[in-house]
């Protein structure tokens, strides 16, 4: 395989990025809910060329038992990259980076979950990166949050996540692979949208105080946009159809039920009678 060539620039003289995006423009995003029949909850995300599937199992009995928490459920997250997800084949065994990202994702999701409702149980979140092209930890949080909602785990809110970085001295949102590798730094973040409470904030690279403040505001704005996409994905998955509409599964223009609420911080999804 030929070695990867570093691009001549990450921001063109016209102010556009290597893939033609504006600095504040995100990659195309496609979210789906209920993609795995065997899981209690599942979701997938395509963000640019990055493709990730998340499955949730539980609450269920925890094994091994020494991990049991008497006052809440144990949130166990496993983030794994497929061996074919990157140009150079990845080793099948879990890497130190995968274990670290698993912990980061769990810590980002916990503040939104009512784990105390299920003492001594476990909620397992399995995340599989099918194709990696930058931003996998943030994309994984977006998919895992939707999968938890699909599994019916009580939540304060969905958790959207995005990274803001710096390339050629310019702040940019939602880094692609080349920007991640050759940029000057990145700030992955996740929030509870209603309160703008940060559940994840990391920094790699050098930023001035002013740049970091601007980057965080850009990230919050992007996260709120992602939150709307997450809610829309839930609406599509849980829309109530009339008998006539059920006969036509290919109709993509079905009306949403007026009673369906998907902002998990304000109301619960209504159950079919």
Q: How far is it, in rounded angstroms, from Cα 108 to Cα 20?
A: 31
DSSP E strand stretches across 1-160: 29-33, 41-47, 50-61, 74-81, 121-131
User: Residue 240 has what pLDDT?
Assistant: 60
160: tokens are 């959207």
Neighbour count for residue 132 (Cβ, 10 Å): 21
Q: Find the CATH number of the domain harbouring 199.
A: 3.30.230.70
Q: In this model, does residue 264 exceed pLDDT 50?
A: no
By DSSP bridging, strand 121-131 and strand 74-81 are parallel
- List, in sequence order, every beta strand (DSSP E) within the chain: 29-33, 41-47, 50-61, 74-81, 121-131, 161-167, 170-173, 185-192, 197-201, 204-205
Whether the pLDDT of residue 273 is over 90: the answer is: no
Q: How many domains does the chain have?
A: 1
Residues 203 and 197: their CA atoms lie apart, in Å, by 17
Q: What is the mean pLDDT of residues 138-151?
A: 98
Which DSSP state fits 175?
Answer: -
Average pLDDT for residues 166-186, to the nearest whole number? 93
Note the pLDDT of residue 94: 79
Tell me the mean pLDDT in the region 176-192: 94
**Which residues fall within 8 angstroms of residue 200, CB to CB, at 6 or more apart?**
104, 107, 108, 141, 161, 188, 189, 190
Q: Does residue 2 fall inside a structural domain? A: no
What the block records as the tokens of 238 is 């849980």
| Pairs from 226-229 (Cβ < 8 Å, separation ≥ 24) | 226/26, 226/29, 226/142, 226/160, 226/161, 226/162, 227/157, 227/158, 227/160, 227/193, 229/29, 229/31
Residue 252 lies in a domain: no
pLDDT at residue 246, as a whole number: 53
Q: What is the pTM of this model?
A: 0.85
Secondary structure class of 165 (helix, strand, coil): strand
Q: Which range scores top for mean pLDDT: 99-103, 237-241, 260-264?
A: 99-103
* Separation in Å, CA 29 to CA 6, 52, 143, 250: 26, 12, 11, 21
- Highest-confidence segment of 91-95, 213-217, 242-246: 213-217
228 in any annotated domain: yes
Distance CA 130, CA 18 (A): 23
User: According to the model, what pLDDT value does residue 3 have?
Assistant: 54
Q: Which domain holds residue 47?
A: 29-239
Structural domain includes residue 35: yes
130, 136 contact by CB (below 8 A): no
Q: Is 248 within the bounds of a domain?
A: no
Q: What is the mean pLDDT of residues 236-250?
A: 62
Cβ proximity of 142 and 226 under 8 Å: yes
Name the residue with higher pLDDT: 128 or 84: 128
Q: Is residue 50 part of a domain?
A: yes
Query: Which burial class, exposed, middle or buried, applies to 130 when counting CB atoms under 10 A from its CB (0-12, 13-18, 19+)?
Result: middle
What phi and psi, each to the nearest 5 degrees, are found at residue 23?
-55, -35
Euclidean distance between the first and the last CA atom of the chain, given in angstroms as a whole number: 57
Distance between CA 228 and CA 234 in Å, rounded?
Answer: 10
260 lies in some domain = no
Question: Do the domain assignments include residue 134?
Answer: yes
């Amino acid at each position: 395989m030929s070695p990867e060539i570093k691009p001549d620039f990450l921001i063109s003289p016209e102010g556009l990025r290597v893939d033609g995006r504006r600095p504040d423009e995100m990659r195309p995003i496609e979210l789906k809910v209920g993609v795995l029949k065997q899981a209690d909850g599942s979701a997938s995300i395509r963000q640019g060329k990055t493709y990730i599937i998340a499955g949730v199992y539980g609450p269920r009995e925890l094994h091994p038992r020494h991990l049991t928490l008497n006052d809440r459920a144990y949130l166990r997250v496993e983030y794994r990259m497929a061996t074919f997800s990157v140009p150079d084949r990845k080793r099948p065994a879990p890497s130190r980076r995968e274990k670290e990202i698993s912990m980061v994702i769990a810590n980002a999701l916990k503040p939104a979950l009512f784990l105390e409702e299920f003492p001594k149980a476990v909620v397992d979140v399995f995340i599989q990166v099918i194709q990696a092209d930058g931003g996998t930890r943030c994309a994984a949080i977006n998919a895992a949050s939707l999968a938890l909602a699909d599994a019916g785990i009580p939540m304060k809110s969905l958790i959207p996540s995005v990274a803001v970085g710096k390339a050629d001295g310019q702040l940019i949102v939602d880094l692609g692979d080349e920007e991640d590798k050759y940029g000057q730094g990145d700030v992955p973040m996740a929030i509870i949208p209603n309160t703008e409470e940060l559940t994840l904030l990391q920094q790699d690279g050098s930023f001035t105080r002013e740049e970091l403040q601007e980057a965080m505001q850009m990230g919050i704005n992007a996260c709120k946009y992602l939150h709307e996409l997450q809610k829309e994905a839930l609406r599509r998955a849980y829309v109530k159809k009339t008998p006539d509409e059920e006969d036509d599964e290919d109709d993509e223009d079905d009306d949403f039920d007026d009673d369906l609420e998907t902002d998990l911080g304000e109301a619960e999804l209504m159950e079919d009678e």
